[in-house]
A = this chain, B = another copy of it.
Protein backbone atom coordinates (compact mmCIF):
# COMPACT_ATOMS: atom_id res chain seq x y z
CA UNK A 1 0.00 0.00 0.00
CA UNK A 2 1.93 3.04 -1.19
CA UNK A 3 1.39 6.14 0.84
CA UNK A 4 1.03 9.85 0.28
CA UNK A 5 2.62 12.45 2.56
CA UNK A 6 0.01 14.73 4.11
CA UNK A 7 2.38 16.90 6.11
CA UNK A 8 2.64 17.57 9.83
CA UNK A 9 -1.00 17.45 10.91
CA UNK A 10 -3.08 16.03 13.75
CA UNK A 11 -4.76 13.43 11.57
CA UNK A 12 -5.01 10.61 14.11
CA UNK A 13 -8.06 8.38 14.39
CA UNK A 14 -10.05 7.55 16.40
CA UNK A 15 -10.30 10.41 18.90
CA UNK A 16 -12.88 10.83 21.65
CA UNK A 17 -15.59 13.46 22.04
CA UNK A 18 -15.50 14.33 25.73
CA UNK A 19 -17.01 17.19 27.68
CA UNK A 20 -14.76 18.66 30.36
CA UNK A 21 -16.63 19.99 33.39
CA UNK A 22 -15.24 22.88 35.49
CA UNK A 23 -16.31 25.77 37.72
CA UNK A 24 -15.27 29.17 36.45
CA UNK A 25 -14.14 32.14 38.55
CA UNK A 26 -17.78 33.12 39.21
CA UNK A 27 -18.54 29.55 40.38
CA UNK A 28 -20.63 28.90 37.29
CA UNK A 29 -20.46 25.30 36.06
CA UNK A 30 -19.00 25.18 32.58
CA UNK A 31 -18.31 22.61 29.88
CA UNK A 32 -15.73 22.33 27.08
CA UNK A 33 -15.75 19.76 24.29
CA UNK A 34 -12.40 18.18 23.51
CA UNK A 35 -11.06 15.54 21.14
CA UNK A 36 -7.41 15.99 22.15
CA UNK A 37 -7.10 13.61 25.08
CA UNK A 38 -6.89 10.06 26.29
CA UNK A 39 -6.07 7.77 29.17
CA UNK A 40 -2.40 8.15 30.13
CA UNK A 41 -1.72 5.93 33.15
CA UNK A 42 -3.21 2.88 34.87
CA UNK A 43 -1.73 3.46 38.35
CA UNK A 44 -2.47 6.08 39.43
CA UNK A 45 -5.38 5.97 37.01
CA UNK A 46 -5.04 9.14 34.99
CA UNK A 47 -6.37 10.86 31.92
CA UNK A 48 -4.86 13.65 29.82
CA UNK A 49 -6.75 16.46 28.11
CA UNK A 50 -5.40 19.37 26.11
CA UNK A 51 -6.81 22.88 26.00
CA UNK A 52 -5.72 26.16 24.43
CA UNK A 53 -4.84 28.90 26.87
CA UNK A 54 -7.60 31.02 25.39
CA UNK A 55 -10.32 28.58 26.46
CA UNK A 56 -12.45 29.61 29.42
CA UNK A 57 -11.87 26.17 30.95
CA UNK A 58 -8.11 26.68 30.98
CA UNK A 59 -8.27 29.23 33.79
CA UNK A 60 -10.82 27.12 35.64
CA UNK A 61 -8.63 24.01 35.70
CA UNK A 62 -5.58 26.03 36.67
CA UNK A 63 -7.47 27.68 39.54
CA UNK A 64 -9.46 24.71 40.88
CA UNK A 65 -6.95 21.98 40.04
CA UNK A 66 -9.82 19.72 39.09
CA UNK A 67 -12.05 18.74 36.19
CA UNK A 68 -14.47 16.05 35.16
CA UNK A 69 -14.54 14.05 31.94
CA UNK A 70 -18.13 13.55 30.84
CA UNK A 71 -18.71 10.90 28.19
CA UNK A 72 -21.79 11.76 26.14
CA UNK A 73 -23.87 8.98 24.67
CA UNK A 74 -24.59 9.42 20.98
CA UNK A 75 -28.05 10.89 21.62
CA UNK A 76 -26.21 13.98 22.96
CA UNK A 77 -24.14 14.64 19.84
CA UNK A 78 -25.81 18.04 19.27
CA UNK A 79 -25.11 19.13 22.85
CA UNK A 80 -21.52 17.89 22.61
CA UNK A 81 -20.89 19.85 19.43
CA UNK A 82 -22.68 22.97 20.65
CA UNK A 83 -20.48 23.06 23.74
CA UNK A 84 -17.45 23.19 21.44
CA UNK A 85 -18.83 26.05 19.36
CA UNK A 86 -19.71 28.64 22.03
CA UNK A 87 -17.63 29.99 24.93
CA UNK A 88 -18.46 29.72 28.61
CA UNK A 89 -17.38 33.35 28.95
CA UNK A 90 -20.66 34.55 27.46
CA UNK A 91 -22.89 31.47 27.53
CA UNK A 92 -24.23 29.35 30.36
CA UNK A 93 -23.68 26.09 28.50
CA UNK A 94 -25.53 23.93 31.01
CA UNK A 95 -28.60 26.16 30.69
CA UNK A 96 -28.37 26.39 26.90
CA UNK A 97 -28.08 22.61 26.51
CA UNK A 98 -30.57 21.88 29.30
CA UNK A 99 -27.99 19.58 30.86
CA UNK A 100 -27.86 19.34 34.65
CA UNK A 101 -24.69 20.09 36.63
CA UNK A 102 -24.02 17.88 39.64
CA UNK A 103 -21.33 19.03 42.07
CA UNK A 104 -18.70 16.37 42.61
CA UNK A 105 -18.09 15.69 46.30
CA UNK A 106 -14.57 14.47 45.52
CA UNK A 107 -13.13 17.18 43.27
CA UNK A 108 -13.91 20.88 42.79
CA UNK A 109 -15.79 20.45 39.50
CA UNK A 110 -19.29 19.64 38.26
CA UNK A 111 -20.37 16.69 36.12
CA UNK A 112 -23.25 16.13 33.73
CA UNK A 113 -26.18 14.26 35.30
CA UNK A 114 -27.57 13.04 31.97
CA UNK A 115 -24.37 11.46 30.63
CA UNK A 116 -23.80 7.75 31.26
CA UNK A 117 -20.13 7.85 32.28
CA UNK A 118 -18.14 10.43 34.24
CA UNK A 119 -14.53 10.59 35.47
CA UNK A 120 -13.76 12.87 38.40
CA UNK A 121 -10.20 14.14 38.11
CA UNK A 122 -7.70 15.93 40.32
CA UNK A 123 -5.03 17.86 38.41
CA UNK A 124 -1.59 16.30 38.94
CA UNK A 125 0.51 17.57 36.00
CA UNK A 126 0.42 20.53 33.60
CA UNK A 127 2.56 20.24 30.48
CA UNK A 128 3.09 23.17 28.13
CA UNK A 129 3.41 21.72 24.64
CA UNK A 130 2.65 24.56 22.27
CA UNK A 131 -0.67 26.11 21.38
CA UNK A 132 -2.23 23.50 23.67
CA UNK A 133 -1.50 22.84 27.32
CA UNK A 134 -1.95 19.29 28.52
CA UNK A 135 -3.63 18.74 31.88
CA UNK A 136 -3.17 15.32 33.45
CA UNK A 137 -5.82 14.42 35.97
CA UNK A 138 -5.76 11.56 38.42
CA UNK A 139 -9.07 9.75 38.17
CA UNK A 140 -10.32 9.71 41.76
CA UNK A 141 -13.64 8.09 40.93
CA UNK A 142 -15.73 6.94 38.00
CA UNK A 143 -19.49 7.47 38.15
CA UNK A 144 -21.68 5.39 35.86
CA UNK A 145 -25.35 4.97 35.19
CA UNK A 146 -26.47 1.50 36.24
CA UNK A 147 -28.02 0.98 32.79
CA UNK A 148 -24.61 0.97 31.05
CA UNK A 149 -22.92 -1.64 33.24
CA UNK A 150 -22.32 -5.19 32.05
CA UNK A 151 -22.65 -8.34 34.17
CA UNK A 152 -19.24 -7.65 35.73
CA UNK A 153 -20.38 -4.18 36.78
CA UNK A 154 -18.19 -2.40 34.23
CA UNK A 155 -19.18 0.12 31.54
CA UNK A 156 -20.06 -1.61 28.28
CA UNK A 157 -19.39 0.37 25.11
CA UNK A 158 -22.48 -1.11 23.49
CA UNK A 159 -24.56 0.49 26.27
CA UNK A 160 -22.51 3.66 26.84
CA UNK A 161 -22.65 4.47 23.09
CA UNK A 162 -19.73 6.94 23.26
CA UNK A 163 -19.04 9.34 20.40
CA UNK A 164 -15.94 9.03 18.22
CA UNK A 165 -14.59 12.15 16.52
CA UNK A 166 -12.81 11.88 13.19
CA UNK A 167 -10.38 14.81 12.75
CA UNK A 168 -9.97 14.31 8.99
CA UNK A 169 -13.64 14.82 8.15
CA UNK A 170 -14.83 16.48 11.40
CA UNK A 171 -17.55 13.84 11.53
CA UNK A 172 -18.86 12.31 14.73
CA UNK A 173 -19.38 8.55 14.61
CA UNK A 174 -21.16 6.08 16.83
CA UNK A 175 -19.62 2.72 17.66
CA UNK A 176 -20.10 -0.05 15.12
CA UNK A 177 -19.96 -3.77 15.50
CA UNK A 178 -17.71 -5.67 17.89
CA UNK A 179 -14.62 -6.84 16.02
CA UNK A 180 -13.29 -9.10 18.76
CA UNK A 181 -12.18 -9.38 22.36
CA UNK A 182 -8.90 -7.88 23.48
CA UNK A 183 -6.23 -10.34 24.66
CA UNK A 184 -8.29 -13.11 23.02
CA UNK A 185 -8.74 -12.49 19.29
CA UNK A 186 -4.98 -12.03 18.81
CA UNK A 187 -4.41 -15.62 19.88
CA UNK A 188 -6.08 -16.78 16.67
CA UNK A 189 -3.17 -15.28 14.82
CA UNK A 190 -0.62 -16.79 17.20
CA UNK A 191 -1.96 -20.27 16.49
CA UNK A 192 -1.95 -19.69 12.75
CA UNK A 193 1.57 -18.25 12.71
CA UNK A 194 2.92 -21.34 14.43
CA UNK A 195 6.27 -20.47 15.97
CA UNK A 196 5.00 -18.35 18.81
CA UNK A 197 1.90 -20.31 19.85
CA UNK A 198 1.84 -21.40 23.44
CA UNK A 199 3.87 -18.40 24.68
CA UNK A 200 2.04 -16.52 27.37
Which residues of A97-155 have CB atoms within 8 Å of chain B's CB atoms?
97-98, 113-119, 124-125, 127, 129-132, 134, 136, 138-147, 149-150, 153-155
Interface residues contributed by chain A, number (CB under 8 Å): 118
Beta-carbon contact of A183 and B170 below 8 Å = yes
How many copies of this chain does the complex contain?
2
Beta-carbon contact of A154 and B178 below 8 Å = no
In the complex, whether A79 has a CB less than 8 A from a CB of chain B is yes
In the complex, whether A54 has a CB less than 8 A from a CB of chain B is no
Residue of B nearest to A100 (CB): B1
Beta-carbon contact of B185 and A86 below 8 Å = no
Please, how many angstroms separate the alpha-carbon atoms of A165 and B183 in the complex?
Answer: 12
Interface digits, A70-81 against B, CB 8 Å rule (1 contact, 0 not)?
010010011111
Beta-carbon contact of A69 and B175 below 8 Å = no
Q: B-contacting residues of A (Cβ < 8 Å)?
A: 1-16, 18, 35-48, 50, 69, 71, 74, 77-86, 90-91, 96-98, 113-119, 124-125, 127, 129-132, 134, 136, 138-147, 149-150, 153-158, 160, 162-190, 193, 195-196, 199
Contacts of A189 in B (CB 8 A): 78-79, 81-82, 96-97
Known: A15-B39, A173-B178. 14 other contacts (CB 8 A): A5-B142, A6-B154, A10-B45, A36-B39, A36-B40, A43-B132, A46-B132, A82-B187, A154-B169, A157-B171, A158-B169, A164-B164, A165-B182, A171-B178
Beta-carbon contact of A39 and B50 below 8 Å = yes
